[in-house]
């Protein structure tokens, strides 16, 4: 257990909060937020800047504070009492991450960095699901008297099995001996003959019957109000990933640099279909406006990490000088956008969807996708992608040039700008974090 003095010196964080004095509402909010996140320590008698003011209280007051915590939050701290720091008394309260959501006055709170934030209405469903270990994808299809064959396309599942042999040894035999039901069970996509929603999104005959909003929309925009072309793709998530890549490649350009000749544009070359086609779409010698592996990574991330309980689609907007990919749902509560530019753990909102894409080598599960996008844009001579998470929407923005990056970004300091892309002026209004 960390020494209280050491905690004070380290300062506030996701797991540490300081309060100068006791205030029922503020203390209870902070403790609820800590318990709803990763647990942590609340110190009473320490200012925000880490200076120790101390508290003056007797045994009666300490008992009253203890009863306030237990009665109001139904929390039982793992440590609660006075410690001495710099010759002054500090009231220390340690709480563990709660097994169930903790509310204060019918509202839920969580820690975001070193701050306590309320769980907003659009976040509430996902927050409650997350805290009790439930996910939208794992819920079974509610239809009764429905056979697996009525919901699942056997050819799509067989194609997946063929593509996943290397990372799922024995999957062929599972299909041959136990049929589709055995494969789905092995993938944690069914339970006692009940097929999950994730199974239908991955291999379904009609995935949009389960969720009409589980579609991807893509448009070519001149401005926010002038739309030159737009498409909508349904089908399985694998279908949507492939269609979206093909459509983007129709909206952007590629060139082949031949010494002594001018570059010439190529649009939508013929590629294999199916899961292999998603990978082969990016295996070429053409130099595209944007790094195709990064676009593919962002599209797949949008499909597998989106919040399917929200009645909205995944949207891709292709402008002259930038591409915006957004999907319903913000980052998992344990991950902040600022962490996406550095090494971080893989935290999956829909783990079974992510696992399926991993099995066919379309993603990895190390939390390295955003780092690869940054590196690939840098190698391509482009600014880094901009990540934003707010209002229930997560966005990835790819910029074709420095001018677009300067216009769309908030601050260049958060991610280093590749050499040669920093010779433009940033107005005073742009002096905010790039991650918002």
What is the CATH class of 216-430?
alpha beta
pLDDT value for 366: 66
* 256 pLDDT above the threshold of 80: no
Give the residue, 347 or 207, on which the prediction is more confident: 207
* 263 pLDDT above the threshold of 50: no
* 364 pLDDT above the threshold of 70: yes
The Cβ of residue 391 has, within 10 Å, a number of other Cβ atoms equal to 10
Note whether 341 and 414 are within 8 A (CB): yes
In angstroms, the Cα distances linking 86 to 45, 51, 52, 94 are 12, 10, 7, 20
* 434 pLDDT above the threshold of 50: no
* 131 pLDDT above the threshold of 90: no
pLDDT per residue as tens digits for the range 321-336: 999 999 988 776 666 6
Note whether 218 and 233 are within 8 A (CB): yes
Annotated domain spans of the chain: 4-119, 136-201, 216-430
**Range 254-267 average pLDDT:** 53
* 271 pLDDT above the threshold of 60: no
- Going by C-beta distance under 8 Å and a sequence separation of 6 or more, which residues neighbour residue 312? 213, 328
Percent of the chain having pLDDT more than 70? 80
Burial class (CB in 10 A: 0-12, 13-18, 19+), 199: buried
**Range 291-309 average pLDDT:** 92
What is the CATH class of 4-119?
alpha beta
pLDDT value for 329: 81
**Range 88-95 average pLDDT:** 95
Q: Label residue 254 by pLDDT band (50, 70, 90).
A: confident
pLDDT value for 275: 61
């Amino acid at each position: 257990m960390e020494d209280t003095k050491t905690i004070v010196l380290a300062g506030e964080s996701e797991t540490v909060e300081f309060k100068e004095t006791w205030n029922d509402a503020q203390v209870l909010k902070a403790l609820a937020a800590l318990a709803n996140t990763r647990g942590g320590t609340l110190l009473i008698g320490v200012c925000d800047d880490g200076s120790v003011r101390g508290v003056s209280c007797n045994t009666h007051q300490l008992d009253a504070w203890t009863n306030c915590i237990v009665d109001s939050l139904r929390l039982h701290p793992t440590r609660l009492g006075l410690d001495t720091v710099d010759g002054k008394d500090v009231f220390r309260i340690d709480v563990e991450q709660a097994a169930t959501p903790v509310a204060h006055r019918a509202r839920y709170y969580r820690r975001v960095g070193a701050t306590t934030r309320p769980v907003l209405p659009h976040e509430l469903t996902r927050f409650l699901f997350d805290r009790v270990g439930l996910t939208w994808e794992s819920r079974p299809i509610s239809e009764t008297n429905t056979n697996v064959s009525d919901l699942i396309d056997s050819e799509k599942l067989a194609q997946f099995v063929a593509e996943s042999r290397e990372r799922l040894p024995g999957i062929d035999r599972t299909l041959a001996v136990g049929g589709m039901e055995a494969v789905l069970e092995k993938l944690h996509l069914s339970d006692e003959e009940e097929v999950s929603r994730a199974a239908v999104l991955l291999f379904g005959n009609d995935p949009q019957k389960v969720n009409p909003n589980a579609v991807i929309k893509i448009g070519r925009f001149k401005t926010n109000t002038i739309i030159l072309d737009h498409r909508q793709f349904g089908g399985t998530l694998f279908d949507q990933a492939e269609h979206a890549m093909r459509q983007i490649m129709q909206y952007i350009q590629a060139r082949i640099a031949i010494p002594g000749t001018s570059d010439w544009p190529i649009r939508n070359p013929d590629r294999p279909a199916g899961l292999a086609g998603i990978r082969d779409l990016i295996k070429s010698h053409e130099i595209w406006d944007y790094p195709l592996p990064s676009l593919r990574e962002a599209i797949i991330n949008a499909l597998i990490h989106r919040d399917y309980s929200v009645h909205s689609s995944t949207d891709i907007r292709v402008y002259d000088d930038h591409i915006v990919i957004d999907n319903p749902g913000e980052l998992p509560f344990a991950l902040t956008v600022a962490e996406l530019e550095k090494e971080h753990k893989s935290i999956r909102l829909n783990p079974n969807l992510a696992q399926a894409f991993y099995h066919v080598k379309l993603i990895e599960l190390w939390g390295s996708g955003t780092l690869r996008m940054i590196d690939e844009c840098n190698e391509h001579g482009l600014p880094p992608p901009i990540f934003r998470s707010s209002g229930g929407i997560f966005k990835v923005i790819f910029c074709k040039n420095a001018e677009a990056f300067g216009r769309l970004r908030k601050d260049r300091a958060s991610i280093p700008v590749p050499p040669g892309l920093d010779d433009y002026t940033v107005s005073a209004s742009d002096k905010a974090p790039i991650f918002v």
